[in-house]
Every structure is written in C-alpha cells, then in structure tokens.
C-alpha cells in the first residue's frame, strides 16, 4: 500500500482515523515521508 493520500480509499480511511487535515495525513503516507526526509536512510523495499 503506497500513497494513500492520493487515492479515494486512502482519503476515506485517513479522514476516518486522522480527521480532515490533509497535512496531518502526510505524516502517515510512506511516499510523502520519503519525499520530505532531511537525511538519507537505508530503505528496504
């Protein structure tokens, strides 16, 4: 499961669990976390 902030089912789930603030959602979206990381960390994909 990737990029849940970019698909309808992700919007529904995140809104139910985290509320309607989409900026808060980014803290739980793997793609957003990788995009905004300040340091390079090893990733296992």
* Domain spans in the chain, listed from the N-terminal domain onward: 4-36
pLDDT the model gives residue 23: 96
pLDDT for the residue numbered 18: 97
The set of residues, in sequence order, having a beta carbon less than 8 Å from that of 22 and lying 6+ positions away, is: 5, 14
Q: Based on C-alpha coordinates, what's the Rg of the chain?
A: 11
pLDDT band of 2, cuts 50, 70, 90: confident
pLDDT score, position 32:
92
Structure confidence at residue 42 (pLDDT) = 82
What pLDDT, in 10s, does the model give residues 3-45? 999 999 999 999 999 999 999 999 999 899 888 988 887 877 7
């Amino acid at each position: 499961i990737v990029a849940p902030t970019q698909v309808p089912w992700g919007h529904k789930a995140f809104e139910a669990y985290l509320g309607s603030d989409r900026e808060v959602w980014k803290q739980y979206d793997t793609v957003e976390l990788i995009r905004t990381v300040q340091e390079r960390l090893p990733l296992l994909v």
